[in-house]
Amino acid sequence: MTKKLYIKTYGCQMNVYDSERMSDVLAAQGFAPTEVAEDADLVILNTCHIREKAAEKVYSDLGRLRAAGGPAGRLIAVGGCVAQAEGAEIRTRAPFVDIVFGPQTYHRLADMVERASRGQAVVETDFPTEAKFDHLPTATGRRGHTAFVAVQEGCDKFCTFCVVPYTRGAEYSRPAGAILDEIRALAADGVREVMLLGQNVNAYHGAAPEGARGPAGDWTLARLARAIAEIDGIARIRYTTSHPRDMGGDLILAHRDLPQLMPYLHLPVQSGSDRILKAMNRKHTAEDYLRVVDRLREVRPDMAMSGDFIVGFPGESDADFEATMRLVERVDYALAYSFKYSPRPGTPAADLDDQVPEEVKSERLQRLQDLLSSQQRAFNASMTGRRLPVLLERPGRHAGQMVGRSPYMQAVVVDAPAEAAGRMVEVDIDTVNSFSLNGRITGGEWLPTGITAAGDSRIAASAGVVS
């Protein structure tokens, strides 16, 4: 009999990928996904430790889950970074939790579930000697025409505010051959766009495929991207999250040479102050960061930037904050995320003196977010009248609509039937809304009846593919 699996995912794209792979691991044990936690035989909370009070949120969710009830014999598991950080403390505070496991051990989930089913309390938070990717099954089904692909995990940077090196471990890069095999299978299943994931993705240095042409040694992310671009069916390549120190010249030139590599890059800087960057152990300066941005825009004039900022890091003065504001004005971001600094237990910054008062952090954050929001609005408004390539992904809110993504990750709404999903189309942008762009399909792999493709005298049939 089929058992039901419910997974709640917190946090980053890597966690989304991990949740998908957990589902693949458990599918072989007869588990099928459900959207209703109360119906599930196994509930997994796949947690994130980046945000403030992350652990308390997990305990609150566990309390609600217990109160809601479920089928007899239901198992409850807590995985991810909070599980890695808290370990057995989770079962101390919530004894009804059956399984606690870190982000490096979920390839062993089948065994954990079997042990928990026999009444054994399971806590698996040791870093295994084996790489989990070597033990994961083939994906059992795709979730659309875009897919996450983990290529790198962990971090060796040890920024003083960050828990990732402690919850995800040291940097590890998957062999390039395994990644290419996974993407070929995805492409055969209809995937058109891949997002390459890693905590420090541009530090990728995976073993080259056996018999690979070119220089010997490990492949960089740039070399991997060039190989992915040769896979039939893959129209778009993205990657996240990057570190300024690892934006090598070969990766910058790949943005020049590969049309599949999208002109949109998430490159966190965290602060515009060199003094604060040093205290954060970022090991780059504001000028180093700006040189990377300038070089990217030199090779790709249409490059749009995204970033992360921490406001109110210990010791941040008014002058430090104004340096951040100047950097933001200089870069002109299409999108950025900004947060007040909050201490993470076990990180060096948590023990620093000169913590910034909460009211000061709040005032600075508001000023920064006002500037970033104005830049985002201006960037979106600049799309009006432009023709953008859009990958159609899913039905829109209204009948006869489809939603896709621009090269810059903006949602684009067009009139098209559901069978146009997975097609790359050219869209003339007419209007810009708060959270999306609206436009008309004027070319590409699908055209509405009566529209002539550029350079093609034929009229495309409804829902037809332009050859």
Detail the residues annotated as belonging to a binding site. Answer: 12, 48, 81, 155, 159, 162
Is the distance from CB of 426 to CB of 443 less than 8 angstroms? yes
The CA angle 335-277-287, to the nearest 5 degrees, is 70
75-79 and 42-47 strand pairing: parallel
Q: Is the backbone of residue 366 left (phi > 0), alpha (psi -120 to 50) or beta?
A: alpha
CB-side neighbour CA atoms (13 Å) of 286? 20
Is the distance from CB of 109 to CB of 128 less than 8 angstroms? no
Is the distance from CB of 234 to CB of 193 less than 8 angstroms? yes
Measured distance CA(260)–CA(176) in Å, rounded: 18
Cis peptide before 146 (omega within 30 of 0): no
The residue ranges of DSSP E strands in 157-277, in sequence order, are 172-173, 193-197, 205-206, 219-220, 236-240, 264-266
Sign of CA dihedral 415, 420, 422, 423: negative
Q: Which residues are annotated as a binding site for [4Fe-4S] cluster?
A: 12, 48, 81, 155, 159, 162
Q: What is the DSSP letter of 352?
A: -
Sign of CA dihedral 131, 133, 135, 136: positive
